Structure formats: C-alpha cells, structure tokens
Amino acid sequence: MNDALQQGVVLETRRFRAALFDLDGVITQTARVHAAAWKCLFDDFLRERATCQGTAFEPFDPVADYQRYVDGKPRYDGVRCFLAARGIELPFGRADEAPGSGTICSLGNRKDALFNQQLTRDGVATYTSSVGLVRSLRAAGLGTAVVSASRNCPSILQAAGIEELFDVRIDGVSAARLGLRGKPAPDTFLEASRQLDSDPSSAVVFEDAAAGVEAGRRGGFGCVVGVNRAGDPARLYENGADVVVADLSDITLR
C-alpha cells in the first residue's frame, strides 16, 4: 500500500472547472475542536455507563476513534458508528431533542453544544495555505465549493471571514433539506459539482478524512487530493486519494 506523502504536486487548471473543499481540517483548524468535543461527550457517557454496569471505563481515543468512526460523517452517523463499535445500541430519537445521553440524537445534540462552546471560547483559525489555494483557483477561473457534514458550516465560515471564497456551500443543513446521504456516499460532492455546472470528472476534491476521500472516489471525480492532517497517509490512499500531501502548500497550479 502506498503511504508516501507527495511534494510539488502540480494541478493542471485547464483540466478542471471546479474545486470542492472539505471544511474542518482542510480549510479551517476546527477538526481538533470537533475531536475535543467528541471526547468530552463520549468520555462522560462511557464513564457513567461503566459506573452503572460495574465495568471498566475505556475512554474515547481522540485520534484513532475520531478518524475511524466520526471524522467527516454527519453528527448522528458518527454517534451511531462509534457506539456500534463499542457494542452499544440506543434508540435514534428526534433531531429536536435536548442535549442528553438517552438517544443517538440527544448525544449528537450535546456534542454540537460542546463544539459551539469551544468555538465561542477559542475562535476559528484557518490554514493559510489552503485559503491561498482557494484564492488562486478562483483567479484561474475555477468555481469553488465548500462541502461539509457540519451544520455549523455557515457560522464557521463567517467567524473565519471566508464566506466570499465559495460559490456554493453544501453542509449538514442543506444536505438534510435535499435528502443527500453523508460521506462516504458521494451525494454532497456530486450536488456541489452540479451546482457549479461541472461534470465530476472535471472537478478536484480536497479532503482530510477517510470518509471524504472515499466519497470523492465513489463520485468519479477527476482528482481526489488527501490532506494528511492525522499522520496516516496510507489510510487516505486506501480509501481513494489519488495523491496525499502534508499541506496544500505542496500544491502548485499550472
């Protein structure tokens, strides 16, 4: 399996009409905020469950568990996937439930509350090289879209001051409204490509999550660039990345 990071990757802009970017971990440094919120949520839940059942407490791993079960997925899917990995079943519940621990939705809503608390406290940092690449691609005539599972995408873009960089936004809210499946299904990327009037083969996808690069591969996109924020390039290649870079500063346009 290929596990080598690539440097000096050249993108021929004439090959592409559109560039589709994941948000957390690609454009903004909010992936670490998400991971911290997930750990707080699941550790509290697992600790309480272990105490009630008289079993050992096994904490949520903010690297391995985050990457494998929740990264890049819609919030409720992430809750379900992680709990299933621990052999735990909960009723789905309702999306409008108050944050709690009795259902998948209530857990997901608590995670959202924790994320927003940390976002308010710490703010939003961007990856300078990523923002620069978006600007360069726009200057080269490509349409740009942000494609995120997060329902907080608009507020994150606004807090970072980069809303104007994207012609199209497909996020957790619009995906639910349009009935689109979350990553690793390709639906959200395909919808962004459609709205940019681009065939998937003429669009390039930038993703840091395994679920996201798999969505790019399954959608038949012209190029899927994996951004190795988690230190596991082999996982990105395995799930469908054509190239894997440490940072988008390794991308050169021609």
Strand partners, 227: 245
pLDDT-flagged residues of the chain (< 70):
1-3
Q: Which residue has the tokens 């589709």?
A: 20
Fold of 9-29+124-253: Rossmann fold (3.40.50)
Please give the C-alpha separations between residue 69 and each of 60, 61, 160, 209, in angstroms, as whole numbers: 11, 11, 27, 11
How many C-beta atoms lie closer than 10 Å to residue 133's C-beta?
26
pLDDT at residue 122, rounded to an integer? 78
pLDDT at residue 73, rounded to an integer? 84
Query: Of the candidates 25, 49, 63, which has an alpha carbon nearest to the alpha carbon of residue 232?
Result: 63
CB 223 within 8 A of CB 6: no
Domain ranges of the chain: 9-29+124-253, 32-122
Query: Could you tell me the two tokens for 69?
Result: 């079960």
* SS3 (DSSP) at 204: strand
Query: Could you tell me the two tokens for 235?
Result: 């996982």
Q: Which residues are catalytic?
A: 22, 24
pLDDT at residue 6, rounded to an integer? 79
CB 202 within 8 A of CB 15: yes
